Structure 1
């Protein structure tokens, strides 16, 4: 068994190392094509290293076998998010190529609808895979909100920060860690955030329309979080028991 586990762990390391290599390759391509600056390079590399380290540790603790096609899709999305992160970090020094930013973000959002279907069809759904998918989604929304906030105002950061604020609150209020029932509305509102931020960041809407659209998305997100928190509050005694 020890030999099998060692062999399997080596395979998992190969998967995460391949992901880190893909991240480095994407950054190199961006650097060659658009002249990625120091801020973009450093931020992109930090994202790649952090993703590799966290995912490797999580795999070692969960002993997920095998890595699975769905997680490969999510890892590809994480690589694209790393590219978007580098571009947004670089935008503080010079305007980013919007076409490249939109292209990377669009593919990442499209693949978000793929990994879940792959996991269900291949029977490889797992708690780690779901968490990996959620964290990639959350970080992409955070990065996009930073980018859009530069043109619409710092209030847009509430969209990206809301999920992290919820996680922080759950450390103080354990009942927030309760399991939520499946909700199509929750998934729809979450998916809408990325689409709205992408459209606003692409600059295809007039400033006032972009402001109103992003504000509407924020209101929907606050409604979704408020509904979930209210439900968790109502069932907290049952969950504690």
Structure 2
């Protein structure tokens, strides 16, 4: 529903500013607790500013009446993801405390199952909220992939980069932008990515099981994306065939029209 006055618009924008403020507060707490270096601070601040700017622009375009309770949960999760991102950036200089890293990531993953339920329970589901939730998920997977790649190798980043590669490919092949049918398997694989990557990145497992967990996550994600791409390709071929049949039928009827008109 569109905004009725500037007060509502200002209030919605204030919520994104509060989110950025909470992000900076979390960075300050992390910095005090572990003595976070410049890389962690700069990355965390960049994440806070980018989240505020992108979300504010999206809200300005969609113009919702209110920010909504589900989006507040997602914004809180984004704040935690910003903290995880800062810890991963700082890990290039010093290893982050395992308990802190696992704790922040685990809470962010748990909250992933909360915002959707809140949206449905309050009747506040929106395309913006769904996209916000998806982008936070995708970025957390990317960050965990980068962190894990330092111990297992760059191949792990295929997990975090696969969704972004799909988005880039959709700019070249527009048929990839078509909506997909609901799939429990797709949702399950997506949910398992964070769990598997956190388990592998926690350091609780020996190298062999860690490698196996990450490889399983990549295999499942490759299967899920591959299945969706094949479905989209087949669907686009069917649609193209229908268009060609319509054009051929129109061409066949054209002489009949000319005969009648003459």
- TM bin, normalised by shorter chain, reads over 0.9
1:79-90 map, 5 Å: 79-90=79-90
Using the alignment, how far apart are the partners of 1:195 and 1:27 within structure 2? Answer: 24
**Structure showing greater Rg:** 2
Counterpart CA distance in 1 for 2:228 and 2:144 is 24
What is the root-mean-square deviation of aligned Cα atoms in Å? 1.3
Name the counterpart of 2:258.
Answer: none
- After superposing on structure 2, the runs of 4+ consecutive aligned residues of structure 1 that deviate more than 6 Å are none
Q: Whole-Å Cα distance in 1 between the matches of residues 182 and 8 of structure 2? A: 33
Which residue of the partner structure matches residue 13 of structure 2?
13
Shift of 1:8: 1.1
2:113 — aligned with what?
113
Whether the 8 Å contact between 1:16 and 1:52 is mirrored in structure 2 is yes
CA drift at 1:213: 1.2
Distance 1:218 1:129 in 2: 27
- Kindly state the Cα deviation for residue 237 of structure 1 after the two structures are TM-superposed: 4.5
For each residue in 1:73-106, what CA deviation from the matched residue of structure 2 results, as whole angstroms up to 9, or x when unmatched? 0000000000000000000011111111100000
Task: Give distance in 1, aligned partners of 2:95 and 2:123.
Answer: 44
Aligned-pair distance for 1:146? 0.4
Q: Which residue of 1 aligns with 2:34?
A: 34
Q: Secondary structure at the match of 2:65?
A: coil
Given that 2:3 and 2:63 are in contact with CA atoms closer than 8 Å, whether structure 1 keeps it comes out as: no
CA displacement at 1:212 relative to structure 2: 0.9
- Please tell me whether the aligned partners of residues 3 and 65 of structure 2 are also in contact (alpha carbons under 8 angstroms): no
**2:63 alignment partner in structure 1:** 63
Aligned length: 240
Shift of 1:238: 5.5
Deviations 1:163-200 (A, max 9, x none): 00000000000000000011110011011110011011
On the 8 A contact 1:178/1:239 being kept in 2, the answer is: no
1:202 to partner: Cα distance: 0.6
TM-score (norm 2): 0.89
Cα drift, residue 236 of structure 1: 1.2
Tell me which residue corresponds to 1:76. 76
Q: TM-score, normalising length from structure 1? A: 0.97
Per the alignment, residue 234 of structure 1 pairs with: 234
**Any gaps of 5 or more consecutive residues in structure 1?**
none
**Structure 2 Cα separation of the partners of residues 81 and 188 of structure 1:** 21
The question of 1:210 aligning with 2:215 is answered no
**Correspondence 1:129-140 to 2 at 5 A:** 129-140=129-140
Gaps of 5+ in 2: 244-262
State the match for 2:92 in structure 1. Answer: 92
Q: Deviations over 1:208-228 (max 9, x none)?
A: 111011101100100000000
Match of 1:167 in 2: 167
> Structure 2 vs 1, CA of residues 89 and 129 (structure 1 numbering), >3 Å: closer, same or farther?
same
